[in-house]
Chain A
């Protein structure tokens, strides 16, 4: 019996794609790409099963293989690390050459045997599948293979328990619960520990960035409110620096608003600007004609000195330097 024309088209469309995807498993650098290739092969196999009058197996193939097994593979890939790729170092000398040779040999033997063998004329499953494929399968499965089915059930339960046992991790250190944490905090109180959580950074009225310290009730900055990492990197900013930056932006874009908000600015920065100009200023050139000379002096003054003149709002923050 030969297959119908439609089945031949299906086969010749799917078979080359399947072989390509299987080669993708062989050659893909990344394990995830290989897994996707195998998923494609398995779905194509399910289609071929259904075309071969094995509807039940086709569905099981999709549900069990692509739905469960390959998803399990993907989960383990994520657990192990998606980027896990092969090392190209040969630990056994000539292993790759021998492997390719054996693979080609195996393929040649298998294909040669199939080409040489004489197969009986195909019967087809129309008679066997008379009362639908699943029913016919069930009649065989629950009559001839009942014992095997029971054993397979035991096997599945054993496998599930084995997976649990294998991936179970014994606790090596005692569990640190809420009570232990609070006890440790109280014990550390004598060495200057804190009972409360660390204060959150940046609760100025105008700025709540991560890199600015919070202010305590006296208006002094709390150093440890900024992330330790930022402090080690030296990326934290003082209130004065932020205010100076803000002021520079304001002066550049909204000169009128800047003069209204920082009235003390003109007097202080005029002197500095004069000093800057006499000492050869490196500040960026002001936009021509847009501002009065007063404004340009202010902008150069505020951009050249990063910490900024301590205005009334930042007064308290510059205090602790003197106090401590």
Chain B
């Protein structure tokens, strides 16, 4: 089995995550789509690290994880704040700046 299989798997997961962000309306599901994309990129980093015999790729994947954790905290806090004022977690309802 070639290591490129991992890359193809990562590409497929990234695509599904991106499509989730484009198609779903529930803000939490959209957020999970973003997480899926980040995880797919991590898989790519890890695979390339192994391919090149260089651990820097794994370090970058580690940093991606840390930043993703911080991003999740802030993003979910925003979702909760919006839910409190608008009673909705749908991204369609966040249109106060429209018009």
Contacts and interface: CB of A to CB of B under 8 A. Distances in A.
Contacts of A65: 35, 39, 65, 68
A155 B42 CA distance: 20
A172 interface: no
A233 B59 CA distance: 66
Contacts of B24: 26, 86
Interface residues of A, number: 89
A86 B28 contact: no
Given A25-B33, A79-B80, A87-B25, A56 B58 contact: yes
Interface in A20-70: 22-23, 25-26, 28, 31, 34-35, 38, 41-42, 45, 48-49, 52-54, 56-57, 60-61, 64-65, 68-69
A31 B88 CA distance: 14
Contact of A137 (B9, B59, B72): B59
Contacts of B55: 125, 128-129, 133, 136-137, 140
B3 A3 contact: yes
Nearest to A84: B89
A42 B36 CA distance: 8
Secondary structure of the A contact surface, majority rule: helix
Contacts of A48: 6, 43, 46
B28 A77 contact: yes
A118 B77 CA distance: 43
Interface in A118-143: 119-120, 122-125, 127-129, 133, 136-137, 140-141
A110 B6 CA distance: 13
